[in-house]
Amino acid sequence: MDVSQILLELQARDLRLVRAHKHLDEMPEKRAILAARHRIAEIETLLARTEKVGHVLDAALRKSEDESARISEKIDHEQAKLLSGEVTNPKELQNISKELASLVKQREHIDGEILAAMEKREAAQQQSDKIQAAIKVGRAKEAAMLADFQNKGAELLAEIERLKKERQALSGKLPVDLREKYTSLLDTKHGIAVGVLEGRSCTACRIELPGERLLALKSGPAIAVCPSCQRLLIVPQDHV
């Protein structure tokens, strides 16, 4: 392989390296994973909200149940008084009966509220369960996509490693000054350090060269510098 060929082979590896890195960054699997994570986060927010509603309902339920128990105690107390035979005054007995009736009514009302709250609590629980199931499905999908991404990513990473080794070997075959020139052009010329003279122009910048420049290039060395873009320019020797 002559120096011109080495330069072209090296340039080809470096372009493929750039593409492989770009491909790794832009893999649709990567975007899909990010979208799935975003969706899971949204569902988790919904779950937190639903669970908060459940906790508020729980607290209200406990309060109503305490209240119902307190009224039940009062009812027991009043009934015990009524049945003890200790109260004989008809007026007082009547008051106790009235109080009892009022307490029973209060308890009925609260028990009705408890029942309604329990139904709401049950509905909130069902919703929580559904959301949790959705999160589980979402996480399983995310894990599968992650594995897929890592597999495909691993292929790309292996390709990158291989290309790096190949470019290392090629670069080692170049004369030091040319290698340094190539490396610095790679940095300053957006990853393209080498052009080839094709017809009247350089394949890197595509600028058509004037006749006398063209002639000078064609009668010069196989590796020149493009007068237009300053990249290394390979001049095919069969044109001489």
Q: What is the CA radius of gyration of the chain?
A: 42
Query: Contact between 145 and Zn ion (CB under 5 A)?
Result: no
CA 208/CA 191 separation, integer angstroms? 21
CA 86/CA 93 separation, integer angstroms? 10
CA 22/CA 26 separation, integer angstroms? 6
Q: Which stretch binds Zn ion (CB under 5 A): 6-14, 76-84, 104-112, 219-227?
A: 219-227
CB of 231 to Zn ion, least distance (A): 5
Q: Which stretch binds Zn ion (CB under 5 A): 26-34, 56-64, 66-74, 227-235?
A: 227-235
User: Exposed (0-12), middle (13-18) or buried (19+): which is 13, by Cβ within 10 Å?
Assistant: buried
Backbone angles phi, psi at 234, to 5 degrees: -85, 125
CB of 209 to Zn ion, least distance (A): 9
Q: Which stretch binds Zn ion (CB under 5 A): 5-13, 124-132, 143-151, 224-232?
A: 224-232
Query: Contact between 217 and Zn ion (CB under 5 A)?
Result: no
CA 26/CA 9 separation, integer angstroms? 26
Query: Contact between 229 and Zn ion (CB under 5 A)?
Result: yes
Nearest to 100 by CA among 75, 71, 67: 75
Q: Which residues pair with 208 in a beta bridge?
A: 201
Nearer to Zn ion, 28 or 236 (CB): 236
CB of 25 to Zn ion, least distance (A): 29
CB of 177 to Zn ion, least distance (A): 20
Which one among 170, 228, 232, 234 touches Zn ion, defined by CB under 5 A? 228
Q: Please list every residue from 74 through 103 that binds Zn ion, using CB under 5 A.
A: none
CB of 176 to Zn ion, least distance (A): 24
User: For residues 63-101, b (16+ Cβ closer than 10 Å) or e, as one string?
Assistant: ebeebbeebeebbeebeebeeeeeeeeeeeeeebeebbe
With contacts defined by CB under 5 A, how many residues of the chain interact with Zn ion?
7
**From residue 19 to residue 38, what is the string marking binding to Zn ion with x (rule CB under 5 A)?**
--------------------
Query: Contact between 196 and Zn ion (CB under 5 A)?
Result: no
Which one among 10, 110, 205, 234 touches Zn ion, defined by CB under 5 A? 205
Query: Contact between 68 and Zn ion (CB under 5 A)?
Result: no
- Asked if 197 and 233 touch (Cβ cutoff 8 Å), the reply is yes
Which DSSP helix (H) or strand (E) runs through 107? helix 90-172
Q: Which stretch binds Zn ion (CB under 5 A): 11-19, 146-154, 181-189, 203-211?
A: 203-211
Q: Residue numbers of the site for Zn ion (CB under 5 A)? A: 195, 202, 204-205, 226, 228-229
